[in-house]
Structure 1
Amino acid sequence: MNKEQNTMIDFAALLEAVLFFKTEPISIKKLAEALEAPEPTVAMGLKELADRLKGRGIVLMEKDNDVMLGTIPEAGGIIEKLKREEITKEIGKAGLETLSIVLYKGPISRSRIDHIRGVNSAFILRNLLVRGLVERVSDPGHARGFLYRATFDLLSYLGILKPEELPEYELIDQGIADFEKCSDEEEGNETTENATTREEV
């Protein structure tokens, strides 16, 4: 194996890590931006990754110009069984927290949910999607982005017609907005302080 092949395999592993972390479709363009690599290089890396995944339980799924990791069709039966088991479990504190954010602030991006919670919410959102409590819709502000919102089934279960009918909706909605504003200001202050420190040094 030559040096070029070895480098491509390393890049393919990096792509696999990013796709595993995302747990949702991402465009080749965004992958290129995130990895600071040319799109042709990303395309070659994805081809290498697809080849490496052959014969395994994970596959590289492609649609239009988006890619994501998925499971092989042969595992469909056991995956559905596991999904049904997940649906019957309690969603837990993290699930309730994430669901509340989606209810009061949705449609909302995953990055904003992560920002409000302070942790990665990818797997929590996946569980909520599986249970039919939230749904993913296209983000009108970003051609290949997604937003999360409560499903009609969830609203029906809660006995409301729209999120605005939730208890203390305006108060909680404003509280979350104030928290985001304060958090953004703190991050801005930290960035300014770090820049000042570097200048002094």
Structure 2
Amino acid sequence: MIADQPLDELILAAAVGYPPAEVAFALNELAQEYTAAGRGFELRNVAGGWRYYTREEYSAVVEAFVLEGQTARLTQAALETLAVVAYKQPVSRARVSAIRGVNVDGVMRTLLGRGLVEEAGSDDETGANLYRTTSYFLERIGVTSLDDLPELAPYLPDMEEIEEDLAAFGAQTAAGLHGQDSTTSTESTEAAQTEAAPNGEPT
């Protein structure tokens, strides 16, 4: 179940510590048992090794499940992460997490599983894996190259509005500080006058 290719009796025998002949016999027994019980999976000896497969009569159910999983809509988190990768590629997971402000490990695994993102080497300084979008990503969004991606400028905040907000914030902050200084100065003056008055009475 954990191997990515069929395994022969010798490899399996070495893994479990039994003679190859006994392992071969056990494998055949298991294969017959699964068939007799009508299990949804079967154990086949193909390409010189043994491997688990979905039983053919249940292929329609498996196909429907797989296709539904591939056509399911991406979550908002996945779309945001995909956008960061598309415009910042090649980029590391840490960089994507920093931009989004949340951990993106799970989302990146989803994008990798969907074939929308792939590994693109490693960063020379940190050694972190880098990621980029795939040709399948371009196909899905209907463009031929990354140069055809829409410009980000129209979707960024208006710089004039940002400057106005900053100016207003600065004025508000300055006014608050000025008021605090005035209060402090008044309190200091009153304190000085009190200390200078005879018998502790204010002048």
TM-score exceeds 0.5: no
Task: From the CA coordinates, give the structure whose radius of gyration is larger.
Answer: 2
TM-score (norm 2): 0.41
TM-score (norm 1): 0.42
